[in-house]
Every structure is written in structure tokens, then in C-alpha cells.
């Protein structure tokens, strides 16, 4: 199994530009999570999906952020317009259940730099 795949691994963009981060979860997993990690705020859950449906997006910082999961094998996190304070490492994780089975498998992350 290839694990969770994220692309791109690094993204450098200018303020105001649209940024799209992509994630392919592990086949068979039915939950998908987007996290943001910064030195100041640590690891933050942005949004999570179960069976392709957004369940909790309370962690999405503002309307500039949006996430979609059109099918079980693909998700995107979009920032439009991007701002320097969005610079962070964004992780996607997938899992196959809650509670006892709530082991999440993380991708390698996308390091975003907004100039």
C-alpha cells in the first residue's frame, strides 16, 4: 500500500493567489482529515469527512478555506486568496473507523509558503 499521498510536497506562492492541495487516502478508508501544523499553533484539525461527506468543518479558519471530497479516493483543500499567515505544513490523514479503530494514517504533508 502506498499510504496517504499528498501533492504537491512543497508550494511557494504569492499573496492573493489560489492554492490547491491534494490528497489521496488509503484505499478502503472511509474517513479523511485535513490538519494544519505551525510552530505557534501546533497541530490543528481543519475539517474531516466520513464517507465523502463533510462532518465537522469547525476548524476551517475562514471562508478563504474550502475542502471537497468528490469521491472516496480524492480530496482537495483550497485557499483563495492565500495570505502569508496561511504558511504552514498541511497534512492529510485517513482512517477506517472511530473510537477503538480510530488510528489515523498521515501523509507526508505539503509545506506551503505564501510570500
Partner 1 sequence: AQSVTQLGSHVSVSEGALVLLRCNYSSSVPPYLFWYVQYPNQGLQLLLKYTSAATLVKGINGFEAEFKKSETSFHLTKPSAHMSDAAEYFCAVSDEDDYKLSFGAGTTVTVRA
Give me the residues that bind partner 1 (CB under 8 A), please: 4, 31, 33, 42-43, 45, 48, 50, 55-56, 91, 93, 95, 97-100, 102-109
CB of residue 49 to partner 1, shortest distance in Å: 9
Three-state secondary structure call for residue 64:
coil
CB of residue 81 to partner 1, shortest distance in Å: 27
Across the beta sheet with 5-7, the strand order is 5-7, 19-24, 74-79, 65-71
CB of residue 55 to partner 1, shortest distance in Å: 7
* CA atoms within 13 A of residue 5's CA, in its CB half-sphere: 7
Amino acid at each position: 500500500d502506498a499510504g496517504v499521498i499528498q501533492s504537491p510536497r512543497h508550494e511557494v506562492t504569492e499573496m492573493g493567489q489560489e492554492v490547491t492541495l491534494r490528497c489521496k487516502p488509503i484505499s478502503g478508508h472511509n474517513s479523511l482529515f485535513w490538519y494544519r501544523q505551525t510552530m505557534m499553533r501546533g497541530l490543528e484539525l481543519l475539517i474531516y469527512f466520513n464517507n465523502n461527506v463533510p462532518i465537522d468543518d469547525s476548524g476551517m479558519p475562514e471562508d478563504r478555506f474550502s475542502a471537497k471530497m468528490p469521491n472516496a479516493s480524492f480530496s482537495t483543500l483550497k485557499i483563495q486568496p492565500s495570505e502569508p499567515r496561511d504558511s504552514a505544513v498541511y497534512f492529510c490523514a485517513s482512517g477506517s473507523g472511530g473510537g477503538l479503530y480510530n488510528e489515523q494514517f498521515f501523509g507526508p504533508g505539503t509545506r506551503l509558503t505564501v510570500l
